[in-house]
Amino acid sequence: MTLMEELNHRALALGVPLSVHLDLTYRCNERCEHCYLDHDDKGELSTSEVMDLLSQLADAGVFFLTLSGGEPLLRKDCFDIIQSARALLFNVKLKTNGILIREAEARRLRALGVEQVQISVYSHRPEVHDGITKVPGSLQRTLAAIRLLKSQGLKVTIANVAMRKNLLDMDHVHALAQDLGVSFTMDPTITPMMDGNTSVLRLRISSDDLKNVLRNPKLVGEVQQFCAPPPVDDSIMEGLPCSAGHTSCYISPYGDLYPCVQFPLPCGNVRREKFLDIWRNSRQLHEVRSIQARDLPVCSSCAHLGTCTRCPGLAYMEGSMRGPSSADCEKSLSRTGIVPASMLSRPRAESRLDFCVSSMRPCC
Amino acid sequence: MSEKYISRSTTIAARQLGDEMMMMSAADSMLFTLNRTATTIWLAADGKTPLAEIVKKCVCTCQDVDPGVAYRDAVEFAEALAQHGILRISDHPMNGLSGEKGENS
């Protein structure tokens, strides 16, 4: 067991929220066609509300803090927020498109001790990347930001979202990341929009393309091992779906608390209640925490149960947090060739392809 | 034997989890945990209090341990953390907590 796994176990036993993802704004200076957010400001937490929240999160034991958006740097107080977060000794990860990062901003992020900056790059070709972001010149500015951050010694990860439009560029983006000396992660997750609109799902890659992705050693490492049939292990029935609501949660720019950014089950609002009161007492979080693998009506009988990356958030969006998330069923099938239980009991649906290749665990 | 002073780095992330302190250095992304005694010493590392005094106040009053042995162990511990940028050690008092040049500027 790694030290990180050990800490996760301990946090779970103590009821400590080890990780929080906080979106500072949904406003953005890009208009990525796959984005699940609207970009209006419907009453963001004020600077003082965010500062108070950070203090509450530190008191609650939160260690890993992801600041994201929208584009978080659009908030004029973003650096003040990061400085406060660092003064409270959070491990801070920033997700940004980098457009607003110049040398001064890169130097400041380094000085503040930000642990990692994640930046989305959709293609090595400006016409494709800028076509997705709808901002001419965005690739050039994003790459310039990555170079500036690297020159300051910051750890940078390029995040690539695989879609029909840019799938063929994935290996080139991977090579670009290697040239820049930064990490690379690829995610074919296209999530329905927050208002339930599923039109963005048309951007998902096909089943055949998914199989190729899952057999790409540059992405998954040992293909044979990665695509091996799932092991048989009785202890799996005691397992928990993922960290969402157990040791991690998501807070929106308006203070709404959810189990995960990909799990739109409202659990409370930090404007009306203290964070720790929601974390400890929310009926919704208690329900999420009550689910064990044995309770899953379809998945508990599935051969993939031990290795499946079933996302309870995606399952919730499909109708039941205890149900299968069809994207993960599709992934298990593509990976191993073994038909999941959900597909034995219903006609096979058009592929749904939400998963994270980087970790091969649910995004939450 | 010269006095030694230790100062916590502000470039690290840290949080108490149960009896232990989790720590990660932004410089090398290495994760550490400190036990209760080590955490006590780390929290007292203000750059101004001599390490010998920290050991005497924070360790020897709580544990049945030879002060000389405890001090030697504490120096070894501090040097190990200093290698990862978690602490700074000096023969002289230091101003405040330690960070990299230009930090928070």
**How distant, in Å, are the alpha carbons of A72, A143, A229, A239, B58 from that of B65?**
51, 56, 55, 43, 12
- What are phi and psi for residue A98, nearest 5 degrees? 80, -5
Encoded amino acid at A324, one letter: P
Q: Is residue B14 part of a domain?
A: yes
A16 contacts in chain B (CB < 8 Å): 17
Q: Report the gap between the CA of A115 and the closest CA in chain B (Å).
A: 5
Phi-psi region of B21 (alpha: psi -120 to 50; beta: other; left: phi over 0): beta
Q: What is the ipTM of this complex?
A: 0.83
Residues 6+ apart with CB under 8 A from A256: A266, A268, A269
- Domain range for B85 is 5-90
Q: Is B68 on the interface with A (CB under 8 A)?
A: no
Q: Is residue B105 part of a domain?
A: no
Least CB–CB distance from B18: residue in A14, A107, A113: A14
Q: Is residue B69 part of a domain?
A: yes
- What are phi and psi for residue B75, nearest 5 degrees? -65, -45
- CA dihedral sign of residues A13, A19, A25, A27: negative
Entry pTM: 0.88
Stated as kind and residue range, the H or E segment containing B34 is strand B31-34
Q: Is residue B102 part of a domain?
A: no
The average confidence (pLDDT) of chain A is: 89
Q: What is the largest CA-CA distance in chain A?
A: 57
Instruction: Indicate the range of A36-50, A223-237, A331-345, A350-364 predicted with least confidence.
Output: A350-364
Instruction: Give the total residue count for chain A.
Output: 364
Q: Report the gap between the CA of B39 and the closest CA in chain A (Å).
A: 14
Instruction: Indicate the range of A7-21, A24-38, A75-89, A338-352 predicted with least confidence.
Output: A338-352
Encoded amino acid at B52, one letter: A
Quote the number of domains for chain B: 1
Q: Report the gap between the CA of B95 and the closest CA in chain A (Å).
A: 17
Residue to test with chain A: of B10, B11, B15, most A Cβ within 10 A: B15
Q: Is B29 on the interface with A (CB under 8 A)?
A: yes
Q: Is B105 on the interface with A (CB under 8 A)?
A: yes
Question: Nearest-CA residue of chain B relative to A90?
Answer: B13
Contact A61 B99 (CB under 8 A): no
Instruction: Give the total residue count for chain B.
Output: 105
Q: Is B22 on the interface with A (CB under 8 A)?
A: yes
Are the CB atoms for B104 and B9 separated by under 8 Å? no
Question: Nearest-CA residue of chain B relative to A12?
Answer: B17
pLDDT digits (tens, 9 = 90+) for A42-61: 999 999 999 999 999 999 99
Average pLDDT over residues A157-170: 94
Q: Is residue B96 part of a domain?
A: no
Least CB–CB distance from A89: residue in B14, B27, B99: B14
Q: Reply yes or no on whether the pLDDT at A356 is more than 70.
A: no
Q: Is residue B100 part of a domain?
A: no
Are the CB atoms for A104 and A149 separated by under 8 Å? no
A155 contacts in chain B (CB < 8 Å): 26, 29
The 10 Å Cβ neighbour count of residue A165 is 16
Give the C-alpha separation, A42 to B94, whole Å: 47
Which two tokens mark A141? 């500015």
Q: Is residue B101 part of a domain?
A: no
Q: Which of A138-147, A338-347, B27-36 has the highest mean pLDDT?
A: A138-147
Least CB–CB distance from A89: residue in B13, B29, B104: B13
Are the CB atoms for A76 and A65 separated by under 8 Å? no
Encoded amino acid at A115, one letter: E
Least CB–CB distance from A61: residue in B11, B16, B100: B16
Q: Which of A143-147, A167-171, A307-311 has the highest mean pLDDT?
A: A143-147
Are the CB atoms for A146 and A158 separated by under 8 Å? yes
Give the C-alpha separation, A265 to A286, whole Å: 12
Question: Nearest-CA residue of chain B relative to A113?
Answer: B11
Give the C-alpha separation, B51 to B33, whole Å: 20
Give chain A's contact residues with B (Cβ, < 8 Å): 3-4, 7, 10-11, 14, 16, 18, 58, 61-63, 83, 86, 89-92, 107, 111-116, 153, 155
Q: Is B1 on the interface with A (CB under 8 A)?
A: no
Residue to test with chain A: of B22, B24, B32, B42, most A Cβ within 10 A: B22
pLDDT digits (tens, 9 = 90+) for A318-343: 889 998 888 888 888 888 888 888 88
Give the C-alpha separation, A132 to A33, whole Å: 6
Encoded amino acid at B1, one letter: M
DSSP string, A255-297: SEEESBTTB----EETTTS-HHHHHHH-HHHHHHHH--GGG-T
Q: Is residue B35 part of a domain?
A: yes
Question: Which CATH number does the domain housing residue B11 bear?
Answer: 3.90.930
pLDDT digits (tens, 9 = 90+) for A67-107: 999 999 999 999 999 999 999 999 999 999 999 999 999 99
Q: Is B10 on the interface with A (CB under 8 A)?
A: yes
Contact B17 A63 (CB under 8 A): yes
